A and B are shown apart, each in its own frame.
Chain A
Amino acid sequence: MSEHVIDDDTIDNIEILAKLSLTDEERLQAKADLSEMLSYIDRLNELDTQGVEPMSHVFKVSNVFREDVVTNGDGSADTLSNAPARKDGMYQVPRTFEE
């Protein structure tokens, strides 16, 4: 079983993907945890799964639809009721537009 070495670049990338920022101490811990878990997960490679279809859903259910009928009214009050910051009936967030 191969030992995973999680380097700083990998952690940097995970921070961007998962939108987390780690302290130096947390970073060390994360490296250790991730390599241990990945090595553990690696044991799945002991199994030959050639020709086995990946199974996302346990049941072969398909075609679950709704009809195209409007069922919802003005939801703005509920939608905004938990907003940490709002203005003019909208969520307020740090600027997204570039200069």
Chain B
Amino acid sequence: MEIKDMTAVGLSAGIRSGETSVREALDCVLKSISENEDRIHAYVTLEEPEKLYKEAEIIQKKIDDGSLKGPLSGVPIAVKDNMCLAGMPTTCSSKILENFHSTYTAEAVRRLKDAGVLILGKTNMDEFAMGSTTETSAFGPTRNPRNPDHVPGGSSGGSAAAVAAGECFGALGSDTGGSIREPASFCGVTGLKPTYGTVSRYGLVAYGSSLDQIGPLARDVTDCAAILSVISGHDPKDSTSLERKDTDFLSCLNEGIRGMKIGIPKAYFGAGLDQEVGDAVLKAASEMKSLGAEVSEFDLDYTDYAVPCYYTIADAEASSNLERFDGIKYGYRAKDYEGLHDMYKKTRSQGFGPEVRRRIMLGSFILSSGYYDAYYLKALRVKALIRKAFDKAFSGFDLILGPAAPNTAPLLGTSLSDPLKMYLGDIYTVPANLAGLPGIVLPCGTDAKGLPVGVQLMADCFSENKLLRAAYAYEESQKAAGRKCSGCRE
């Protein structure tokens, strides 16, 4: 098999067996980057090739002397540009952080490096992870490798596109309201949002702190499981990090889907869902049934309230989290100003793009005196109801199946003009963030235009193993039917 068609786990095995080398793996991604990057623009910052080759050599030595033997050692991986990496810029695709160099490394990224991963660079995203298309990036949009006229989804669009274009063997994304799962769906790769608290948020530039989770975007389910195994686990630097012991997500993969109870929320297939997407997702459900799962429809309460609940909480938290960008300690500072407050206002008005400003304004209003109870506390109460609805659902089902987005990737330039309509596209992904649940999205077909469709599985908190088992079983059946692995280029 050619290197470019390997999965991350396959590549690492090949490197460790001496069949190939870290340098050859790097040659392969750099070639792909030079062929595709001009068109796709998946990266904001690429590490200098000399440094990468030097690092590759160090990793190779450690593999050769046996000190690195993990399932990802030697694999070139990309990181979304909202995770800090010492010595590299961390821009969040925002002008306000254009010149910001992190002084420390995010815990999840540090764990990847410790596992012998070669970090290629930082991927493009919606500014501060606010968006569903990667068009709000201050550095220009990323294009969908499946069809460059279309968006890759967002906000982890750069990571999804880099995986889909073979510009890396896997990537980290972050998911606050679907930012891993929606671009995975649009780009035809596999993306997983873990249970809240499974991956440390230390070093992840916060958007909505109670919703943010880092997770993998990868070429297949096994790669997702391998990356998650490396980056998950308790971190004393993050107070919301969970003390999970069950962070081996690889050994369960073969346990199969037989006997699993899968529920399909009826409301997920109502108005607003593209027919072709619905058909592809239901076809995946019936294939899972044929693999031995019990599949049935059910009523999931409060489906219509997840999006307004989500935007209330996320924007309120974001308005506070983004206060630190003020032109004093780092990043952009306006050139001409009269006094302190004018400096703040000019810096922030010039430094933030329109979508970020929109969310900051809404969030500030929601928290302001007289509205806090009516909006913010109300949303936290609705969140409790949504969580309860999932508790009820998971008392009867192992997994919930649905689409990841109501449609396939839209054309570039068609989404931002109507923000509310864009927000409504998050209907299938935000519930998992509100309830803390893990969710995985993997390809299940294409529409008439050849754009990928993803199917989403959600599980109860801490049940990533169930998600991965089912997803793996489905993926195996697809491979057996002659379809290529999800992330590999056609």
Contacts and interface: CB of A to CB of B under 8 A. Distances in A.
Nearest to B347: A19
Interface residues of A, number: 48
Given A52-B381, A94-B340, A59 B345 contact: no
A82 B312 contact: no
Interface in B413-454: 419-420, 435-436
B368 A61 contact: no
Contacts of B330: 82-84
Interface string B456-467: 000001000000
Nearest to B346: A21
A85 interface: yes
Bin chain B's interface residue count. Answer: 35 or more
Contact of B377 (A45, A54, A81, A82): A54
A57 to B, nearest CB: 7
A33 B375 CA distance: 16
B291 interface: no
Contact of B384 (A10, A43, A53, A78): A53
Contacts of A91: 328-329
A51 B407 CA distance: 38
A13 B340 contact: no
Of A18, A52, A78, the most chain B CB neighbours within 10 A belong to: A18
B331 interface: yes
B53 interface: no
A8 interface: no
B45 interface: no
Nearest to B313: A56
B239 interface: yes
A58 B196 contact: yes
A69 interface: no
A28 interface: no
8 contacts: A18-B364, A19-B326, A37-B419, A55-B384, A58-B210, A83-B328, A94-B337, A94-B339
